[in-house]
Amino acid sequence: MQGEKAAVERVFREEYGRLIASLVRRFGDIDLAEDAAGEALVAALEKWPTSGVPPNPGGWLTTVAGNRVIDRIRRENQRDAKHRAALMNHDDTPHEPTGPVEDDRLRLVFTCCHPALAPEARIALTLRLLGGLTVPEIAQAFLVPTTTMAQRITRAKQKIAAAKVPYRVPTAADLPERLGAVLAVLFLIFNEGYLATGDGDPVRGELTGEAIRQTRVLRQLLPTEPEVSGLLALMLLIEARREARVRHGQLVPLGEQDRAGWDRALITEGHALVRECLAINRPGRYQILAAINAVHTDAPTASDTDWSQVVALYDQLMRLDPSPIVALNRAVAVAEVDGPEVGLALVDRLPLTGYHAWHATRADLLRRLRRSAEAAQAYDAAIAATQNSAERAYLARKRGELVRAGDGSACPESS
Amino acid sequence: MTHYLMAVHGPAEMNEFGNYGSREEMEEAFAATGAFNDKLRAEGYWVFAGGLEPVSTATVVDGQGESPVLTDGPYLETKEVLGGFWVIDAPDLDVALRLAAEGSRACRGKVEVRPFQGLA
């Protein structure tokens, strides 16, 4: 019985985004759509364990949920004739298995990631309405109390309804910018799973998996947008290294990872997407980041990495996005080509003193330059600037090795 | 269609050219705002608009007690106050935000967009 319930819930989550999107299109009300979807789940939990999962479970859920909404509106219509008028304003075309259904999810993505909503609300709504995650699950993933997350989602939904945030795919003129906001939300969800900011689990596979699943859907819906393919490739090539990235609770940096532990299927898929992007030849931020990750995952060993290619790609990225974070990553690659001294000179210029990766990069370059006292201070600063347990463990080990390596007398002992 | 308030916020302290840097700048902003108003009327979004006298002319009325209490000056003492506003009728937030961006450029101030619950 427990297994059957889990199976129904798995199908339900798989179909949730499609179901909600279709109901929102037909009835123009997110709360109504969510209530009806919940009632359809209850009906499925009653029916499917005895009658079996129907051949088109998404269609079944949509029909049941749609009927529940219509029943409810009919009941309310008897009290209030205005509702009938409201219903007639909405698109009441029935559920279809292809075409428009895909458009429904695409519209909902743009509603959830609308720039008039706060970024954390966009992330929460995307996970709730398109991913089908429950509010407690989202709250746990972002380490905030459930009530806080529930308020955040409720407020965002109220704003969508009251301010009339539209439910449609933006016009071609607005698409690049609005698509950028959607991709940013998906990448933030992925990153939170990949390198969690809090002190809980260092890696959250459910978030990286959900971000990849939604980016795959987005790619089906917008197959000619190379940045969507680029983002999917980037996620796959990072996800491929997930198992090798943490060992005994410690972060393992790229150069020290056991490459036999990388997921070859994901790498093959990611490389094919990068080649597809190159052929389209409309480069963008995510495509370039994916290409950089393709260079890394192409190298049989760390010392085989084509670092000059990595530098060239970061040069290209700097022209699109001249941010200090990109400059920091470029400096890491430059240090591999021109030596740690050149890399350190680039790093020291960047205004990133509050960023853990800046301190960690400085620490590593200072270590390689045998400036141990300064390296130890930089490791301390990096440890203080991150909450991620695996990263802290790694940095503490590197700092410890520094002391044992010799001129530890010059190292100020940290507490 | 939904009615939106597009409220223009600006500094409470004004000089002889309102909150603009010079006479030319003020006149340019007035001309641009006039043109934007014409456009709102021509495209059917216009409901109402107006600039407000300086905040020093405000009186706060509290009629919740037995007899009304009047207080000279604005309700909140802040450096940024409401300087003027439009009320527009637009099909959705995307249209309202696009118009607000145009209005902001015309009047050279930040614009807050808020939907009305409905107009009486």
Does residue A332 carry a pLDDT above 90? yes
Task: Tell me whether strands B46-51 and B80-90 are parallel, antiparallel or unpaired.
Answer: antiparallel
Q: Structure pTM?
A: 0.82
Minimal CA–CA distance to A141: which of A159, A127, A162? A127
The whole-angstrom separation of Cα A312 and Cα A316 is 6
Q: Determine phi and psi for B114, rounding to 5 degrees.
A: -135, 135
Residue pairs spanning A and B at CB distance below 8 A: 25
b/e B9-28 (16+ beta carbons within 10 angstroms → b) = bbebeeeeeebbeeeeebee
Q: Which residue of B has its CA nearest to A171?
A: B94
CA A134 to mean position of chain CA atoms: 17
**To probe the interface with A, which of B4, B5, B93 has the most A CB atoms within 10 Å?**
B93
Q: Determine phi and psi for B53, rounding to 5 degrees.
A: -65, 160
- Report pLDDT digits (tens) over A355-370: 999 999 999 999 999 9
Structure-token match 């906001």, residue found: A181
**To probe the interface with B, which of A164, A171, A175, A178 has the most B CB atoms within 10 Å?**
A164
Own/partner pairs, A252-260, CB within 8 angstroms, 24+ separation: A252/A394, A253/A394, A254/A296, A254/A302, A255/A302, A256/A302, A257/A302, A259/A300, A259/A301
Q: B17 or A65: which carries more pLDDT confidence?
A: A65
Mean pLDDT, all residues of chain A: 88
The pLDDT > 70 percentage for chain B reads 99
Question: Cβ(A73)–Cβ(A28) under 8 Å?
Answer: no
Query: At A80, is the pLDDT very low, low, confident or very high (cuts 50, 70, 90)?
Result: low
In chain B, which residues touch A (CB < 8 A)?
2, 4, 91-94, 96-97, 113-115, 117
Q: B93 contacts in A (CB within 8 Å)? A: 114, 116, 163-166
Q: A81 or A86: which carries more pLDDT confidence?
A: A81
